[in-house]
Amino acid sequence: MSTQSYIHTVSKTHHLIRLDQYLKALHPNDSRTHIQSAIKSGHVCVDGQMIASPKFKVLEGHIIEFFEPSKLDTTTWQPQPMPLDILFEDDELCVINKTAHCVMHPGAGTPDHTLANAMLAYHPPAKDLDRAGLIHRLDQNTTGCCIIAKTQLAQQILTHDLSIRIIERTYLALVHGSIELPGHVNAAIGRHRTRRTLMSVSPSGRAACTHYRPIQRYPEHTLLELKLETGRTHQIRVHMKHMNHSIVGDRAYGQQRAPSKIYPSSVREALMNHPYQALHATRISFKHPIHQKTIMVETPPHAPFSTLLEILEPFITSNDEYDQ
């Protein structure tokens, strides 16, 4: 049985109503009980994040993904052994060091060879968990820390913690231009009006806040540490574009900027030819769902991002104690 999903964009008419009421209005043949159960079991995402509370208030511009519980059957996702770099693991969860070119779970255009398929092979009981235990998402070419639950209880608690923003995710990004001082971007994000697979800053979008701190500066680029106060789809990439400091290699949200001859040709080529966004989830901190102790996991950038930083090292103009 194939996965059946529905995607809705919240209109002005439904602004600020409960999530269960919104889905009931759009799916009148489903009972309220059925819809509430679907929400609580993790079958509904709002702007890419699983929301487990039926009382959650939707806003105009929200993108709602509703995966029908009767049709979302992860046993149709085939176990496929793939190399996994496990940074932390116990009986309840693991933290994976996600590689580039890795999609989180099967979907349109990517039926298999995803992180979910790999988890089904590595941890067969994941077949009984929603989305094989995935708690949050990273873009296909964003690397680094990703939490995966191994039990239903851990998944419920971690999904809730994510929704109330007590899981702290820290990223590194190499951006175009010079940023001298720490700051934040507070700009709402919604679906792009014409390019529907992309997001953009929009007054009618959802509130979004990204905090950033420069930790290394180069003649024409800055290495930033970023923390998400919210977790909107493509948030860092959209906010960096909004600041006119797009991420090196980001062909969806950036624009090719030819480095000047202040860099030698080898460095210019490395900057121009970076194959995807230089964005890495370097650290994640959260309370363990069972014993409530704080778990913090870190991992340095992967190649070619790490290689690019090494190439740029002789050109550092200031350094705020970043340890690669």
Q: How far apart are the first and last CA of the chain?
A: 46
Geometric angle at alpha carbon 253, from 57 and 116, rounded to 5°: 65
Catalytic residue among 128, 139, 161, 323: 139
**Long-range pairs of 255-263 with CB within 8 A, sequence gap ≥ 24:** 257/176, 259/220, 260/219, 260/220, 262/219, 262/220, 262/315, 263/219, 263/220, 263/315
Contact 237, 193 (CB under 8 A): no
DSSP state of 238: H
Nearest to 42, CA basis, from 32, 29, 51: 51
Do β-strands 86-89 and 93-98 pair in parallel, antiparallel, or remain unpaired?
antiparallel
Torsion on CA atoms 111, 112, 118, 121, rounded to nearest 10: 100
Active site residue 30: no
CA gyration radius for the chain? Answer: 20
Catalytic residues: 139
